[in-house]
Amino acid sequence: MIEFVYPWAFVLLLAPVLVTLFAPAYKERKSSIKVPYFARLVDVTGETPQSGAVLLNRNNIQRIIVAFSWLCIVTAIAKPEMIGAPINQEKSARDLMVAVDLSGSMSVEDFTLPDKKNTTKAVKVNRLVAVKEVLNNFVKGREHDRLGLILFGDAPYLQAPFTDDIPTWQALLNESDIGMAGQSTAFGDAIGLAISVFEQSETQNRVLIVLTDGNDTASKVPPVEAAKVAAAHDIKIYTIAIGDPSAVGEEKVDLDVLQEMADITQGKSFQALSSKELLQVYAEIDKLEPQQFDSLSFRPRVSVHHYPIILFVSIYLIALFIVNIRIRLLLNKQKRTAVNSEQQESHDKKQDYNEVIHD
C-alpha cells in the first residue's frame, strides 16, 4: 500500500499546460534567400556559414517521454511512502517503585540462602543480602514494568528513576550497602520521595513496595500521613517487614503502622522472617499485581520517493545518449556530404578545364 505525504503536489501536473497556454514559445521570422551556388558564395565573400533557425517539432514518442518525466518529478515531490503491515507493541502500564531500608539493623545475619558452591548447604547472610537476592529474582519476571529504586536510612535517596533497563536497575541495587544512607530508619520520608517521583510519571497504575526492618525514627513526615498523601495520588503501597517484632527500640517493627499504611492505599502488608518467606511475599505480590500492558499499534512507513527520481534520471540519460548518437551520425553524414561535394566540385572543375583545353 502506498500513501503520499504531500498529495497536493499533483496539482503541479497542470503546470506545463498553464505555461503552454499563458507563456508560449517565442517565435520570430526573418527574410532569407536560397541560392544554388552557396559554396562558391562562401568562398567569394569569406563569411563563415552559421546555423539558421531551427523549428523544434516533437514527435509523439518525445511528447510521451517528456510527460512521463514530469510525472516522475511530481510524484517524487509528493513523497510516496510504502505502508507496511500493522505492528502491535505492548508497553507496560505500570510503574513499580521499590524502597529498601539500608539502616544499620539490616546487617543482622538472621536469613539463610542456599550456598552457590554447594546447593545442599545453606549459609547465613544479613538481611540486605537476602533482600538483594530475592529482589533480583523478583524483577526478572517484571521485565515489562518500569522499575525505580529508593534507598533510605537517615533520609531517602533516589538511586534509580523509573526505567525499563532491568540489568542497570539490578546493578544499582547490588552496589548499595548498609549505612550508605545513615543508620536510622525514615521510611515515611521515603514514601514522600516516591510520591514526588510518581508525580512525574504518566502511568496511572502506580505501586510502591517498602522493605524495612525497624521502626520509623527519622522521618519528618509520619508514615501514616505519607500513606494518606500516596492514596490521594493513586499509589498502592505494599509493606514488607523483615525485622523481629519482638525486638525493642529502633529495631522493633511496628506492624500496626505498616498494616494501616497498606490499608489506606488499598495495598497489603507482609511479614518475612526468612528468605523463604520473603520469596513467598514477592510471589504473592505477583499474584496481586499481574503485569498490565498498553497495546500500541503502528504501521511502518518507508519513503520510496527516490524511485521516481531514479526513473527520471534513467530516462534522461538514455535520451541524452540517443541524442548524442543521432548528432554524431548527422555530423558524420554532413561531413561525408561535404567531402562528396568537394570531390564533385573538383571533378567538375577538372572537366571544365579539360573541355577548355580541348576547345
Strands 146-152 and 156-163: antiparallel
- Count how many residues are written for the chain: 359
Q: Report yes or no: 241 and 212 within 8 Å, Cβ to Cβ.
A: yes
Q: What are 156's strand-pairing partners?
A: 152
User: Taking the model in full, what pTM does it have?
Assistant: 0.59
Q: Is the pLDDT of residue 29 over 50?
A: yes
Which tens digits make up the pLDDT trace of 277-335?
778 888 887 777 665 555 556 678 888 888 999 999 998 898 889 888 988 888 888 78
Kindly state the average pLDDT of the residues 112-119: 70
Predicted pLDDT of residue 53: 46
The domains located in the chain, with CATH, are: 2-28+56-84+302-358 (no CATH), 89-297 (3.40.50.410)
Strands 87-92 and 293-298: antiparallel
- What is d(CA 326, CA 338) in angstroms, rounded to the nearest whole number? 18
Strands 94-101 and 205-212: parallel
- What is d(CA 100, CA 212) in angstroms, rounded to the nearest whole number? 7
Q: For residue 60, with 0-12 CB atoms within 10 Å meaning exposed, 13-18 middle and 19 or more buried, which class applies?
A: exposed
- What is d(CA 187, CA 154) in angstroms, rounded to the nearest whole number? 9
At residue 110, the 3 state secondary structure works out as: coil
Q: Report yes or no: 100 and 152 within 8 Å, Cβ to Cβ.
A: yes
Q: Is the pLDDT of residue 211 over 50?
A: yes
Q: Residue 354 corresponds to which cell in the numbers above? A: 579539360
* Mean pLDDT, rounded, of the chain: 80
Q: Is the pLDDT of residue 195 over 90?
A: yes
